[in-house]
Structure formats: structure tokens, C-alpha cells
Structure 1
Amino acid sequence: MRIPFFPLKSVFFPGEKVPLHIFEERYKQLINDCRNEAVTFGIPVYINDTITFGTEVQLVEVVNTYENGSMDVLCVARQIFKVITFDNSLDGKLYAGGNVQYLENIKDGNLADKEKVLEKLETLYSMMEVSFAPIDPNKFEIYQLVHKMGLSIEQEYQLLQLSHENDRLQFILKHLTTTIQVLSEINRTKMLIELNGHFKNFDPLEFKDFKI
């Protein structure tokens, strides 16, 4: 499949709403082509000076158009792809593009792991004193909350490349377990620091068994 490209230093996941501010001439042309020809485009992730994976998005609406031609647009993310070729100009257009191979989304996750993820996520939010709305595990999809789990962009990029839902669940479980452990230790250290200097009721040592 050959599609236009809009490279960004951001990671988007299927089903996610993608608001964009368009101000460069090449991307104004891209959005106009999307409006006139109903084409989709890809947002390949620019990370570590490379472009290898990204997400196809579809234009939903042009929210605002300004006097200088710049636009605020809303898109929705669809499929994840691997970049096969990259051309700085796609078929004589101002914008880049290239050939991509779409990754299969294999939904082999089990309910027990989804419940574990939601349980750990609720624990994490509780430790951070952030409200967490209950989610039905039967309807839960990792992509729903991926940006709300404290992942770095590097971790989000790793997750983007996982085709199997089971692998994504295990990846998130490992991340949440580690994060909770670290946060618990930080809270423990904070408590010890706050206690320092307070009057404490120490039990004095018995010296009768000590020899000098």
C-alpha cells in the first residue's frame, strides 16, 4: 500500500482521536487532498533518527480554517504499519509518502490478564491520588488507556510494534508492576524523611551481654 506521510515525534494507536494543527504548505496540500479524494495518510514515528513504524489515520473534520490557510483538523487513528519505502515527494506532491505494510492485530489476550492490568492501573492511580473510573474487562482494550499509564515515548513505540494482544498485555503488566514497586519505595523514602527529627520512643539496648 502506498500512502502519504506526515512524520511526527509522537505515537498514536488505533481508535485514538488525533487533533493536528496544519500550517506547512505541504501538509495543507495533504489535508486538501484528503478532503477531495477521501485518502488516508500515515503518521510514521520519528524516533532515534529513524522512521520505521507508524499509524494510518483518516481525516474526520476540519475544525478551524485561518486566514493564512492553516487549519485545525481532527483525525482518527486506524491501522499500524511498517514503512517499506520513504519518498520525500509522493507522486509529484509537496508532501512525503511511501509504501507500507500493515501489521495484523491479533486479539489473543485473555480476560484474566485484562483484569490484572485494570487492577494494577487502579492501584497506581490510587497511589497517585488520581481518580480512576471502573472499566468492564470484557470491553477493555489496551489502546484505550495507553497514554495514561506513564509510558515513555520509547515504550509506546515498542508497544506499537506488538501485533499480539497477549504480548501487549504482558508488556503493560510488567511496566505497571515495576512502576508500582518504584512508587512504593519512593513513598516509603518520603515517609522516612518526614519522620526524621520527630521524637520517637526507642527501646534502649541492653548492654549486659556486651563485652569490651
Structure 2
Amino acid sequence: MTNFISIFPLGIVVYPGEQLNLHVFEPRYKQLIANCLSENKPFGIPVVINNKIMEYGILMQIKHVEKVYDNGEMDIITVGDSVFRILEQVEEIPGKMYSGAIVNYPDNNGKPPAKLLKEVLHGIRELHTFLQIHKSFRKEDSKLVSYDLAHHAGLSLEEEYELLQLFYESQRLEYLKRHLNKVIPMMAEMERLKERVMLNGHFRNLSTDNL
């Protein structure tokens, strides 16, 4: 499927099913959202990295307008729908301040392999333990998918974008697993270093009786 969408480029990665709350304040994007609301249409958020609009992004559905300010600014609640690929960017749309793009929607396949999902979940919880943070998911473990977990694994923006370009669930989970297998040993070593630093300068009960 190929179609034309209005675009709202942002320096973030949004995944299918993810809720994104936006405060819309720029005139061109106030116009974009107003038009989408009046025509009951979605809009696209292509990822921006290093001031460059990237090839892939996410189609967003506007679920609710939380607040409209006197100056036309808006607080809106949106939800990620489908991953798109930009085929052609349309810089100027007659009568509009914002731009658009001709996009298609790559097939997105796969059910999460239970064993692999369990391993990734275990790794994320281990990482959170090292970081001394607690996060809970809004679904049962068995119903989680890679998109629910990606923002919780400590990926960089570039890594989150790489994951957005993977279209099989097993590939995405393997990507997260490799990342966690790299990061967690580093965190463990930092914990050991922290313990050694904290011991330095303290009195310790040492004995040489057996020498």
C-alpha cells in the first residue's frame, strides 16, 4: 500500500502501539493537527537524526485532544500505528505550512518466540536492578512484544531507529538480546568497581596468621 501523509518530523522513535503525548505549539504543526482532526486522518512522525529526516517513521493516530489553548496550541494524545518508509518527501503542499511524504508500509510479521521473549525480559529486569529503577509493564509478560520493551533496554536513538527497521519479531528480540548481553556485563563490572572504590580507605580486618 502506498499513500500520501502529512509529516511531523521529530528526534524520537515511536513504535506501534505506543502512546505519545504531544504539546503542539509551532504554527505549521498546529495547522497540520487541525487539518488531521477535521479530515479524520493520521499523520506521520519520521525520525530525525543529526538534523536529517530518516527514511523510516511511524504513522500516528490522534486519539484525543486533551486541551486547546487560547493561542491555538494543543495538548494531544496519539498512538503509534504502522511503520512507514518514505519513498518521496513533498517539501511544499499548496496552501499548507507543513510538508508531507509519499510512503509505503512494509509487512511486519511474527509472533514473539516465548523463550526469546523470556530471555529479553529477564535481561531488562537485570539491567533495571543494576540501575536501581523499577518499571512495570501494562501487559502480562506473555503478551509483551519487542515494541513494548525497546524503550526500556537503554538503547540510543540510533539503536532504537535500527530496531524500527526490523520487520520480524524474532529479529527485534534478538537485537534486544544482543544489546543486553553487551551492556549487562559492563554494568556488573561497574558495580564491582564501585564496591572496590567504596572499600578504599576503610579499616578492614586483615590477618596474616596463616602465613
- TM-score over 0.5 (shorter chain): yes
What per-residue deviation string (whole Å, max 9, x for no partner) do you get for residues 4-46 of structure 1? 0101111100001111111122212211111111111100011
Aligned residues: 206
Q: Is the 8 A contact 1:22 1:71 kept in 2?
A: yes
Query: What amino acid sits opposite 2:11 in the alignment?
Result: K
For residues 186 and 107 of structure 2, what CA distance do their matches in structure 1 show?
Answer: 34
Work out whether residues 90 and 98 of structure 1, in 8 Å CA contact, stay in contact via their aligned partners in 2.
no
Q: 1:113-140: per-residue Cα shift (whole Å, max 9, x none)? A: 0010111112122222223548644211
Distance 2:104 2:141 in 1: 31
- Give the RMSD, CA atoms, in angstroms: 1.9
Counterpart selection for 1:102 from 102, 105, 119: 105
In structure 2, what residue type is equivalent to 1:46? V
What's the TM-score, normalizing by structure 2? 0.90
> Alignment partner for residue 120 of structure 1, among 105, 108, 123?
123
Identical aligned residues as a percent: 37
1:130 and 1:202, CA in 2 relative to 1: closer, same or farther beyond 3 A? same
Equivalent in the alignment of 2:76:
73
From 147, 151, 154, the counterpart of 1:150:
154
Among 165, 169, 181, the residue aligned to 2:169: 165
Cα offset, 1:105, TM superposition? 1.2
Report the alpha carbon displacement of residue 203 of structure 1 after superposing the two structures with TM: 4.2
Counterpart in the other structure of 2:190: 186
CA distance in 2, matches of 1:197, 1:6: 55
Structure 2 residue 207 is matched with structure 1 residue 195: no
Max Rg structure? 1
How far has the Cα of 1:205 moved from its partner?
10
Retained in 2: the 8 A contact 1:42–1:56? Answer: yes
Shift of 1:60: 1.0
Asked if the contact 2:15/2:164 (under 8 Å) is kept, the reply is: yes
Instruction: Name the SS of the counterpart of 2:193 in structure 1.
Output: helix
TM (norm. structure 1) is 0.90
My pick for the range that moved more, 24-33 or 3-12, is 24-33
